[in-house]
Amino acid sequence: MPRPYAQIAETLNPSGECEARMRAVVDALWDACNDRGVSWVGFYLPEGDDAMVLGPSRNKPACSPIGLHGACGQSFRSATPLLVRDVAELGEGYIACDPLDRSEVVVPLIDESGACYGVLDLDSYETGAFDDDDVLGLTHVLRSAGLTYPP
């Protein structure tokens, strides 16, 4: 089901505190996408050299801290988006916060210097719920909120 990323991006303000902008993104994505196959939305931020902690998120509890071996850690380390059509294909590398989740998309947050400083993660109970259009749309949302560069 198509997701309204362009409409979400139009509502976001790229100024203010980073955490407030992350909260606005999470709330806007959840409100627009929870009835379109998305089961969870949230940010993970690095903590030390080998873990990430939960930032703003919706709509259920999530694992925190997590290691860098999961989908979020892979996207963070490579500073590239990661589409996971079927989480079962990740094997032991998958961090299952909700055993009902079947697919995932992770988009890195890139600062002005080109370094990755966190990730946006969306999960779904449906296998194959995300595709390249989601990566492009989510990147557009993050740019509109001033959370990834280039703006």
- Print pLDDT tens along the chain (151 aa): 578 999 999 999 999 999 999 999 999 999 999 898 899 999 999 999 999 999 999 988 888 999 898 899 999 999 999 999 998 887 776 777 778 899 999 999 999 999 999 999 999 999 999 999 999 999 999 999 999 998 6
**What does the pLDDT read at residue 1?**
56
Whole-number Å distance between alpha carbons of 131 and 94: 19
Output the pLDDT for position 91.
Answer: 72
Work out whether strand 40-47 and strand 116-124 pair parallel, antiparallel, or are unpaired. antiparallel
Superfamily of domain 5-144 in CATH is GAF domain (3.30.450.40)
Distance CA 9, CA 28 (A): 9
Measure the CA–CA gap between 77 and 71, rounded to whole angstroms.
10
Give per-residue pLDDT as tens, 24-54. 999 999 999 989 889 999 999 999 999 999 9
Q: What is residue 74's three-state secondary structure?
A: helix
Q: Residue 75: its pLDDT value, please?
A: 95
pLDDT given for residue 98 in this prediction: 79
Give the model's pLDDT for residue 26.
98
